[in-house]
Every structure is written in C-alpha cells, then in structure tokens.
Structure 1
Amino acid sequence: MGLVERNSHRWRRDLAVTACCAAAVAEADRTGDPGQRAARLIDCLGVLRSTHGAGSAAALDMRALRRGLRQGLTPLLPIEGEGEDPLGEVRLVDSDGLLCDAVEDLGREHFVSQQALMEYWPWARLRAEQEEQQLYSEIRRLPPEDYAKVRELLASHPVAEQGVLWEKWGGLWGRFGFFEPVSSWPWCNAAGWCFPCPVCAWPMRAQPAGGGVFAVSCDAHLLEGAQYTCRQDRGGSGPPVLEGGGCSAGRVEGFPAAGDYLAVSRTVWRYLTLPGRMEFAIRDALTDIAGLEVFMYPEGDRYDLRIMATDPLVAREWRVDAKAWRSFDALADALLERPVLGAAVPLIIVVPHRRRSDLPRLRERLAGRPDLEVMTDKDFVTTVLRWCRAEL
C-alpha cells in the first residue's frame, strides 16, 4: 500500500473513531433534547458512511451503528488489508445504555475534548477543533529549525504532486497527516480539474452553474479577485481555461483532480497556511531593511515574529501573532481567554488586510486588554517602515 493510500486510510479511520465517540455520547444521553440527540446520531452516521467504501457503507444504518457501539467497533471502522483493527472489540456503550470509560480514553487520544462531546458541538466544529489541536501538538515537538521549515512548507506549498512534496519535505515527509488526496474532494473538481487560488495556492471551490459552466472561487480570497468561470471542454485534453477574475488575480494553471496530487486539509489551510503566508510575507518585507532583525517563531512559538531594531541607541521591538480566523467574534473570545501578558511590549495581532473594515469591532472587544493591539498585515509593515525612516 502506497503512502497516499495509508494516509487516506489513517484519515478515514480517525474520522470514524471521532464519530463513534460522538455517537456514543448521544446514544447514552437520556436527559437532553430528543431531537438534538437524533440529529447528532444522524450526523455521526453520515460521517461513518463516508469513511467506508460503497459496499460496506450500504450496510451501515442506524441499527448497525447502535449495535456496534454496544458490541464492538469492528463494523463501524473502515477496513485496511487483512488484519483486524485493534479497536474492533472496544465497546463505547454498555448493556445498560451507559457510557464506557473507553469514550474518554479515545477522546483524549484523538484530541476530542469531553466538553465538546457533552455540549453536542456540531460535527464541523468538533472536527476543526480536533484537527487544530492535533496538528499543533505534532509539530511543536519538533526542533526549532524543523518546526520553522514545516510552517513555511505548509504556507508555501499547500498543494502539489506527492513527488514534489516528498522532495521538499525530505526526512520530515510522512510524519504528519497534513495532506489529503485531492481526488477525494468533489467540491473542487471542475470537469476533472482543480485550480489553485492565485493568492493562497490552495484548491478553489468549483460549483456547476449550468450549461457545462463552473463557477470557481476561493472562500478566503474572493474579494481579491479569486473568482472565475470555466466551461467544460469535452474534446480538449488540457484543463479548462478560467475566465474573469479581479484585476489582482493572476493567471491560474489547473492540475488533474486525480493521481498523486495532495493538498493540506481545510483546517491546516485555515489555521496554518493562511496565517503562515502573512507571516512570511511580513518577514520578506522587513528582512533586508537596514537596522532591523527578524526572528520567526521565537520563545517556542509563543508568537510568530519578533522584529528588533539593532541600533542600541534606538531600542524598539515588535511582537506579532498572525490570525486568519473567519469569525472575529470567536477570535476575540480566544484572545480574551489568554492570560494577560506581563511584558512591556504588546502583542500585535495581525489580520488580513481584506478584513480591515471589521477591525473596529475587534478592537472594541479587546479594549480592556492593553497588552494586545490589532492591525492588518499591510498596515503593520507600513508602520514599521515609517518608524525606520523616522528613527534609523
């Protein structure tokens, strides 16, 4: 079995285990809202069916799910090869309909918090939380140089052929489950082709618009002009030609939605690729400025960048943490949960320039935290360059 197949199976099995834990909590609950409980079970059943092949998925219904939770997970987990899954005999709900201790154990091992399970988080939120915790836990164990290399690779090459990724990652390749086969993502398939966003390089969403036409756009960079149309060319051998797009969107070359093309998961894209591209753009804009030193991921990645004035007569330091969250309210909640920083240098939260109209709301939410400042990535670079011209 090749690396792509192994990674795909690991990803599907991880999904299945998480869904089983969530289903067990819903199944054992007899005090909550029955409609919510039923919706959670249906949600988990749909996830489980998606992890199986067409043949075995057809046998998975609500009765099979409830039986598997009580009698053993074997029929609920995707099968790989001839061997038996070591979790196959695990029971998550006992004969009295109560949760088994294995639910908490598996939740911890698969980065699913007990609070998330008990509060009936929607599947998308639960999975995103799980993946974010897992990916940060994995890479923070790396030595500083390898950590910085992984962060830059995830930012600069979020999609490529496996051979290209293998060459760039070197000895780090295969240690992490960041990448998924693009062939398993129907949402970015336009007549058998995918198109990387000209801004972030991740596959853009492709939606049929009727008459053989697809609307192709990036969820994060629509405002930057990453929106196109293309027409299915049944007689051509190459990718369809994208038309339209904003003035800032460059030409895009498609690649086959099959074979060995891999892309980072949506969670990696949202929480590592997008902020990473801001981080390295800031680094590149300030690295060659006389009188400045730029450090990536200092102090064990407590924040993303430290920029320091090297002239001892003009002491100045900036500490930056880049964020590309979709919800600024959720970002404010997360920032307010952080302990107040005792350092004299405030932490500058940098967000994409396209979100500048949302900054007043975020600043209002953080008004009671003088240790936190907020600005866009472009405004931050401009601020530092202006200071350099005035002081150095």
Structure 2
Amino acid sequence: MDSDGLLCDAVEDLGREHLVPQQALMEYWPWARLRAEQEEQQLYAEIRRLPPEDYAKVRELLASHPVAERGVLWEKWGGLWGRFGFFEPVSSWPWCNAAGWCFPCPVCAWPMRAQPAGGGVFAVSCDVHLLEGAQYTCRQDRGGSGPPVLEGGGCSTGRVKGFPAAGDYLAVSRTVWRYLTLPGRMEFAIRDALADIAGLEVFMYPEGDRYDLRITAAAPLVAREWRVDAKAWRSFDALADALLERPVLGGAVPLIIVVPHRRRSDLPRLRVRLAGRPDLEVMTDKDLVAMVLRWCRAQP
C-alpha cells in the first residue's frame, strides 16, 4: 500500500501475472484482467492480422511513442490510426497529474506517477525504473505558465519535459505499456546496438512473430544464429510458468529469453525453474548484446 492507503502499481502487475482469486484484488480489478498471458496474447492477436511491414511499424510505434498529442500520433500512424484502441486520454488519469502536468519517464517514455507530498510538492516517479533514477520531486508553480521543473533523479538522459494533463494528449494503456512498450523498447535497443556490425543481420518478428528477433551471422563471419524473445514481466515465477506451458520451439537453436538488465539478480531463480527446458536460455538484454559482440570480435 502507498502512503495514501491505495494499492501500488506493482500489485496490479502481479495480480495480472498470477491467477490468484484474492477478494481484495477482485474489489479493484475484474477477474478478466488477472491473467497476464491471455492479455498479452490478445494484444498480439489484434495486430498479427496486419501485413508484416505494418505489424513491425505498429510494434515500433508503441515502443517509441507511448504518449503524444493526437495530431502527432495521427501523423506517425498514418492509415493505421484508429484501427486499434491502444491509447487513452491522459486527462482521465489523475494518478499522473502533477498540478496539471504529466511527465514521461526518461527510460520508457510513459507517464510517471505523481503523488502529492505536502506543501505543494509532488513526488514523481516510474516504479519500474526507480533503479535507473526515474524518481523526482517538483513544486507547484502557481504563477508560472509552463510545467514545474523536476528535481532529483539519477537518469543521464537530460531534462524531462512535461506536457499538459489535458487536451489531446494520449498514452497507451497500462496493459499495452507492460506487454508491448516495455519489451518493445528492449527489442529495438538490441536491434540498434547490433546495427552496422559487418556480417550481422537482425530480423524483427520472424516466422509470423513466433519470437521477437532473429540475429544471423554470415560472411565474413562464421554462420551463427540467435533467436530472441523479450519479456518485461514483474513476476519471474509467473513468467516461468508461462514459458513452461509453451511448446518446444524446435530446431537446434535455443530461444533466448531476455529480461531487463535491472532484473539480473533474479536470473538464477528463473534459470532453476527452466532447468528442464534446454530449448530455453535466459539472460539480460545487455548481456545478450555483449555476448554477440564478443562472438563477432572472436571471429578470424
């Protein structure tokens, strides 16, 4: 519970990922929202009917622009805009309103939570990226016309620019953020980190999106392939359960499950849970990139 006696964001995420019929949860969120794997698959099912080029475009837009003005989104999405109900008006989200302003997380670009801390001060933070320094305070400036200035935070991505918590600003829903935006940002960061490496090619969402990335090495490198699936689940126990329910992918190349680097201390437990599935490997996104780059440098 937070200081106001409300359930924290993490509780909703865990409630979605664990099918636990606790009456306390039921009072806050309906039963249909509690099964994360079903929600995730429903989201993907909505866009998998698109041609491959449009599918990849939607995935990248949801990762790169999870919040923007309606006009900006309309321009970027083109003819795809309006076909999916991924966005909601931030004006309907009082939890991210700091004196009439919202602030995107410098790591994931989604609106951060804003809580009154007394004396006209707001505590602004992204609970997922606290370890990256996405934690600030700001003071309500009654005489100013622009957004209040955030203070504190350990992010090295520069100043966070606020936007009005009203009007035409839209953001992806929390479900889309959890299951498309967060893993999507990992996927495209991996792609960009391996771009322009001689002999490497990165394919997004191959084989009808059976997994997220296929990285292949060809001449002048020795032939090699990596299959990658990105996951940003809150609970690794629930993630392990979902992965163990998957059929074996097949082939000699294992599927590498990548998770955010901030969760690296939880990897041993996940590896123990998946010990009976040699077709699955787990590592962080940064470790995957480092492994591929080391392999490339080791080639003659």
* Bigger Cα Rg: 1
- Kindly state the Cα deviation for residue 248 of structure 1 after the two structures are TM-superposed: 3.1
**What is the count of residue pairs matched by the alignment?**
300
Q: Deviations over 1:260-302 (max 9, x none)?
A: 0000000100000000000000001112100111100000000
CA distance in 2, matches of 1:312, 1:293: 12
Inter-CA distance 115–219: structure 2 relative to 1 (3 Å threshold): closer
- Kindly state the Cα deviation for residue 311 of structure 1 after the two structures are TM-superposed: 1.9
**Root mean square deviation of aligned Cα:** 7.6
Inter-CA distance 146–211: structure 2 relative to 1 (3 Å threshold): same
- Of residues 265, 280, 294, the one that matches 2:202 is 294
TM-score (norm 2): 0.88
- Kindly state the Cα deviation for residue 250 of structure 1 after the two structures are TM-superposed: 2.8
- Kindly state the Cα deviation for residue 161 of structure 1 after the two structures are TM-superposed: 0.1
CA distance in 2, matches of 1:227, 1:130: 31
- Kindly state the Cα deviation for residue 342 of structure 1 after the two structures are TM-superposed: 2.1
Inter-CA distance 112–151: structure 2 relative to 1 (3 Å threshold): farther
Q: Deviations over 1:221-251 (max 9, x none)?
A: 1100000000011111110000000153531
Q: Deviations over 1:176-213 (max 9, x none)?
A: 00000000000000000000000110000001111111
Inter-CA distance 341–120: structure 2 relative to 1 (3 Å threshold): farther
Structure with the largest fraction of strand: 2
CA distance in 2, matches of 1:383, 1:227: 31
Q: Deviations over 1:336-356 (max 9, x none)?
A: 001123210000000000000
- Kindly state the Cα deviation for residue 112 of structure 1 after the two structures are TM-superposed: 16
- Kindly state the Cα deviation for residue 306 of structure 1 after the two structures are TM-superposed: 0.3
* Contact kept? 2:205, 2:211, Cα under 8 Å: yes
**Structure possessing the higher relative contact order (Cα contacts under 8 Å, 6 or more residues apart):** 2
Q: Deviations over 1:33-57 (max 9, x none)?
A: xxxxxxxxxxxxxxxxxxxxxxxxx
Q: Deviations over 1:347-391 (max 9, x none)?
A: 000000000011011011111111000000000000000000001
2:98 equivalent to 1:190: yes
CA distance in 2, matches of 1:228, 1:301: 38
2:133 equivalent to 1:225: yes
- Kindly state the Cα deviation for residue 113 of structure 1 after the two structures are TM-superposed: 14
CA distance in 1, matches of 2:117, 2:69: 29
CA distance in 2, matches of 1:123, 1:328: 21
CA distance in 2, matches of 1:223, 1:309: 34
Structure with the largest fraction of helix: 1
Q: Which moved more, 1:273-282 or 1:239-248?
A: 239-248
Inter-CA distance 207–98: structure 2 relative to 1 (3 Å threshold): closer
The SS at the match of 2:7 is: coil
Q: Percent identity?
A: 94
Inter-CA distance 137–104: structure 2 relative to 1 (3 Å threshold): farther
Inter-CA distance 337–206: structure 2 relative to 1 (3 Å threshold): same
CA distance in 2, matches of 1:290, 1:102: 42
- Kindly state the Cα deviation for residue 129 of structure 1 after the two structures are TM-superposed: 6.0
CA distance in 2, matches of 1:214, 1:169: 34
Inter-CA distance 301–111: structure 2 relative to 1 (3 Å threshold): farther
